[in-house]
Chain A
Amino acid sequence: MNATRLIATFVRTFPGGPEIGVDNLCLGDGVTVLFGASGSGKTTILRCLAGLDRPDQGQIQFAGSAWFDGARRFSLPAPRRDVGYVPQDYALFPHLTVAGNVGYGLFALPAAEKTARVAETLDWLGLTDLGARLPHMLSGGQQQRVALARAVVRRPQLLLLDEPLAALDTPTRLHLRAELRQWLRHLAIPTVLVTHDRFEALALGDTVVVMQAGRNVQQGVVHEVFSRPVNRAVAELTAVETIQPGRLVELRDGLAVVAVGGQQLLALPGAGLSVSGEVYVCIRAEDVILTRGGPGAATASARNRLAVTVQGLQREGPQVRVNLEGAFPLTALLTQAACAELALHPGDFLIALVKTPQVHLIPW
C-alpha cells in the first residue's frame, strides 16, 4: 500500500473473444484482490503477470524492471520473473510427492539446503506428515496448502493466487480463509489474489481492484470500494443488496437529501452529485439495523428511519437475510442471535435504521 511495486497497462485480445486488459494497474505491498464476476478477465490478467500469457500490447514493470514491453516486443520469460503462482486447480505435479512438489523450484540449491527449506515450509503449513504422499491422496484443503507451499518456498518477489479457495467445500473454505490471511500476513510478499467472492475480498484484501468486462474499473481500500462503488455495475458486483433509483432533492447542512419511493433519506454527498439529479441509492444489508421502536429508535435521531414490514427470512450460515418492504424494498443481514432477540416473523412491522454515511449515492 506504500511503495508501488508493479505498474501495468496492457491489452490481451483473444481471436473472436473479448478484449481483456488493465489500465494503469498499480500494486503495492500487501494483498491486492482482483475482484470481479467470472469471465471478467481476472485469470488472464494473472497469467499475463506470471508470464504465461502474453499481452498484445502495453507494459508491465515490476520494481523498476521491465517484465513486458509491447513496443520493444520484449517479454521477460516466466522462469525469470520470480513469481509464485497458485492456479485455481493447483496443478500439483501428479507424479511427484508432496515434498517433491514443494521442492521442485529449488533445483539451484544444494541438496541439504533444499531438504531443510522444504521441511521448514511443510512444517509452517502443517504438512510435515504428508511429505511422502502423492497429490491424489490429499484432501482439497491439503492440496491447496501444498500448492501454496510450492509457490512460496522460493521466496518469490510476487505471489499470484487464482481463486485459492474456490475449489474447496464451504466449511474447509471458511476455515482456510482465516488461515490464509495469517499466512499472507506472515509472508509479507506482495500478493495478487483473484476472487469473485466479496467476503473473501473483504477478509483477505488490503486493497481491491474491481474488474468488469475485461477492465479494471475501480481500485482502492477494500471497504471503501465496497461501500462507495463508482457505478451501478460495481455496486451489483460488490453485492450491495439494496440498489434503488432515487432523486437528489437538495443539499442541506452538508448532507444530501434524496427521495426514494416517496421516502426522504439523508446521505453524505459524494463527488459528482448535482441537485435534482438522478441517483442510485445503495445500502448494504449489513448496515441496516432493525428495531421494534422504543428507546433504541428514539436516540437515533441522526439516522434514517424507515417503517418496514418483514416479507421473508432466509438463513445464510450464521446470518439471516431479512427481506423488508416499506417505501422501497430493503434487505437487512442479521446474526441469528439478533434475529432471535427481535423474534422476527413475516408480516411484523419494524423500524429500519440506516446511518447517514451508509447511504451511498451513485450518480447516473
Chain B
Amino acid sequence: MSVAEWQLIGFSLRMALASLLLVLPPGLALAWWLAKYNWRGKSIIETLVTLPLVLPPVVTGLVLLELFGRHGPIGGWLHRAFGLEVVFTWRAVVLALAAMSLPLLVRAARTAFAEVDARYEQLARTLGAGEWRIFFTITLPLARRGVVAGILLAFARSLGEFGATIMVAGNIPGQTMTLPLAIYQAVQADDEAHAWLLAGVSAIIAFTAVFASEQLQGRRA
C-alpha cells in the first residue's frame, strides 16, 4: 500500500479514536443515569439518544451542519469565543462520528449497568462508599464486558460512517476524508482496484472489532 493509503487509514483510526474519547464520558454517564434511575421524561431522552441509529445519517449530518455551522447556535458561539472552525474540518469528522456512535455505546452500556445486581451497590453504600466510588469500584468493573463490547461496536460504527460525515465535514482529501469517503471517491474516479483495497482494509478492521465484541459478550459467565 502507498504512503497516502497508510495515511488515510491512520487518519480514519485517529478520528474514530478521538470520537470515542469525546463520547465516552457523557455516554457512560448517560447510560448509568438511564440504567439506575427513573424520572419523568426519561423515555424522551432514550428516544433522542437512539434517534441517530434510525434516522438517515444524512439527516443527522444536516442537523449537525445547522447547529455547528459558523452561523449556527453552537458553531457561532465556538467561533466567536474561541475562534474555532468546526464545519468542514477534522473537528466536524469527530463530531459526526461521535453523534453516530453515541447510541450504540449508550445502549450497550445501559444494559450492562442495569444487569449489575443492585445488592452489590447497596452493600457498598453500607460500607461508607459514595456514588462515585461505587461506580468506579463496583458498577463499572462488574459491567466491564458489556461496556467494552459497546465501545468496540461504537468504534467499528465510527470507522464505517459515511452520510453524516460527508454532510458536515465534506470530503476533503488529507483533511476530512475517511476510509468510506475515500472508497466512494475511488469508485467515482473509476479506480476500482483502489476502492477494493480500501474496502478490504475496512472489512478487516470491522471484523476484528465485532469479533472482539462478540467474544467479550459471549464470555460473560
* A contact residues vs B (CB 8 Å cutoff): 50-52, 77-85, 87, 89, 91, 93-95, 104-105, 107-108, 150-151, 154
B127 interface hit (Cβ, 8 Å): yes
The reply to whether A95 and B142 contact each other, CB–CB distance below 8 Å, is yes
- State which residues 111-138 of B face A: CB under 8 Å: 117, 119-120, 122-130, 133, 137-138
Q: How distant is the Cα of A154 from the Cα of B120 in the complex, in angstroms?
A: 17
Tell which of B120, B125, B128 touches A93, judged by Cβ atoms closer than 8 Å: B120
The reply to whether A52 and B126 contact each other, CB–CB distance below 8 Å, is yes
Q: 22 A-B contacts, Cβ less than 8 Å apart?
A: A50-B126, A52-B125, A78-B122, A78-B125, A79-B127, A79-B128, A83-B126, A84-B126, A85-B126, A91-B119, A93-B120, A93-B123, A93-B138, A95-B141, A104-B127, A104-B129, A104-B137, A105-B128, A107-B128, A107-B129, A107-B133, A154-B127
Shortest C-beta distance, B36 to chain A (Å), equals 14
Known pairs A79-B128, A80-B128, A91-B119. 6 more at Cβ < 8 A?
Answer: A78-B122, A79-B129, A81-B126, A91-B120, A93-B120, A151-B126
* B contact residues vs A (CB 8 Å cutoff): 117, 119-120, 122-130, 133, 137-138, 141-142
The reply to whether B123 and A85 contact each other, CB–CB distance below 8 Å, is yes
Q: How distant is the Cα of A135 from the Cα of B85 in the complex, in angstroms?
A: 54
Shortest C-beta distance, A189 to chain B (Å), equals 14
Tell which of A80, A81, A91 touches B123, judged by Cβ atoms closer than 8 Å: A91
Residues of A within 8 A of B126 (CB): 50-52, 78-79, 81, 83-85, 151
Q: How distant is the Cα of A89 from the Cα of B123 in the complex, in angstroms?
A: 11
Given known A-B contacts A94-B142, A95-B142, A79 and B130 have beta carbons under 8 A apart: yes
Residues of A within 8 A of B124 (CB): 93, 104
Shortest C-beta distance, A329 to chain B (Å), equals 45
Shortest C-beta distance, A62 to chain B (Å), equals 14
Q: How distant is the Cα of A51 from the Cα of B127 in the complex, in angstroms?
A: 12
Which of A51, A52, A94, A154 has most chain B Cβ within 10 Å? Answer: A52
The reply to whether B133 and A89 contact each other, CB–CB distance below 8 Å, is no
Shortest C-beta distance, A84 to chain B (Å), equals 7
Q: Which residue of A lies closest to B133 (CB)?
A: A107
Tell which of A52, A82, A91, A94 touches B128, judged by Cβ atoms closer than 8 Å: A82
Q: Which residue of A lies closest to B137 (CB)?
A: A104
Q: How distant is the Cα of A118 from the Cα of B36 in the complex, in angstroms?
A: 31
Q: How distant is the Cα of A191 from the Cα of B119 in the complex, in angstroms?
A: 21
Shortest C-beta distance, B132 to chain A (Å), equals 11
Q: Which residue of A lies closest to B125 (CB)?
A: A78
Residues of B within 8 A of A104 (CB): 124, 127, 129, 137
Residues of B within 8 A of A84 (CB): 126
Q: How distant is the Cα of A171 from the Cα of B128 in the complex, in angstroms?
A: 34
Residues of A within 8 A of B119 (CB): 87, 89, 91
The reply to whether A105 and B122 contact each other, CB–CB distance below 8 Å, is no
Shortest C-beta distance, B129 to chain A (Å), equals 6
Shortest C-beta distance, A258 to chain B (Å), equals 49
Q: How distant is the Cα of A120 from the Cα of B177 in the complex, in angstroms?
A: 62
